[in-house]
Structure 1
Amino acid sequence: MKKKRVIIPLLIIGLLGYGVYWAFFDMNRLPKGELISEVSSPKGTYTLKAYVSNGGATTDYAVRGELNFNKENKKSKNIYWNYHEEKANIKWIDENTVLINGHELSVPNETFDFRR
C-alpha cells in the first residue's frame, strides 16, 4: 500500500516533466522555416542547412541549423537554434567542427539552443 502512494505521484511528476520538455525544449519540434544557407563540410561528410523562422508579430526571427549526413543513411538532426537572428554565417573549421554565427560546435554530437 505504501509503494502505491510513492509510485503514482512519481509517475505523474515524471509524465508532467516529460510533457514540459516535449512541448517547450525538444529540438525536433522546431518550426521548419525558410532555407537561407547550405554549406557542406570540407570532405562532404555533412551538409549544414540554415533556416530562418518568422514567428509572426509576437516573436522575433530565429535561425535553425539542420545537420544532414551525406555519407551515412541517418535522419537529419537539428543542432542549432538561436533567437534574434535573421542570417546564418556558417564556416567549417574542419570536417567535424562548424562555426555558426560565432558558436563553435563539434558535430554530430554538440548542439546549441538559446533556451538552455
Structure 2
Amino acid sequence: MNFDADYKIEKKKTHKKILKVFFILGLLFAGIIAYGVNWVFFDWSRFKDELINKSTSPNGTYTVNAYLSNGGATVSYAVLGEIVFNKENKRSKKIYWQYREEIAEIEWIDDNTVIINNVQLKLPNETYDYRSGIK
C-alpha cells in the first residue's frame, strides 16, 4: 500500500469539503445581509402604521394611499404615500415620503398628476423623498 498517495487523496477530499462548507456559509451570510439591507432600506410595511387618506384618480387609473408613520418617542411623524395601480397588475409603488408631517392632503390635477401636501408628482414615474428633496 502507498500511504503517501492515499494521504494526499484524502487531504484533497477534506480540502474540497471544507471549501464547500465555507462557500455555503458565505452564501448564507450574504443572504442574511441582503435581507437585512432590504428590510432596513426598502421594506415599507414596517413604516405604514395608519392609513390617513386615500384618493383615486379621476379616471380610476391610480389610487394614492397616504400613511402616517410613528417612529417612536424620539422620532417625529412622517407621511408616506404609495400608488396602487387599479387597471394594471403591478405592485404598489412608493411615491412620497415627508418627515415632520401628520396630515396628507391629496389633490388630483388630472389622471396622471397628483399634488400631495403641495408636492406635485407626475405618475407613475415621479417620486418625492424628503431626504434628497428631489422629485
* TM-score band, normalised by shorter chain: 0.7 to 0.9
Equivalent pairs, count? 96
One of 97, 118, 125 as aligned partner of 1:109 = 125
Aligned partners of 1:72, 1:22: CA distance in 2, in Å? 25
| RMSD after superposition | 1.8
1:93 aligns with 2:109: yes
Among 66, 70, 77, which residue is 1:50 paired with?
A: 66
Q: Which has the larger radius of gyration?
A: 2
In the alignment, structure 2 segments of 5+ residues that lack a partner are 1-33
1:77 counterpart letter in structure 2: K
Cα pair distance change 1:88/1:68, threshold 3 Å: same
Q: Please state if 1:66 is matched with 2:61.
A: no
Give unmatched runs, 5+ long, in structure 1.
1-18
Secondary structure of the 1:98 match is: strand
Q: Distance in 1 between matches of 2:86 and 2:39?
A: 30
Secondary structure of 2:79's aligned partner: strand
Higher helix share: 2
Question: CA offset at residue 32 of structure 1?
Answer: 1.6
**1:36, distance to aligned residue in structure 2 (A):** 0.5
Question: Which residue of the other structure, out of 62, 70, 77, is the alignment partner of 2:93?
Answer: 77
- Identity percentage over the alignment? 57
| Secondary structure class of the residue paired with 1:65 | strand
What is the TM-score of this pair, normalised by structure 2? 0.66
TM-score by length of 1: 0.76
> Residue 23 of structure 1: CA displacement?
7.3
- 1:100 CA displacement: 0.2
Query: Greater share of strand residues, 1 or 2?
Result: 1
For the residues of structure 1 that align with 2:39 and 2:129, how far apart are their CA atoms? 15
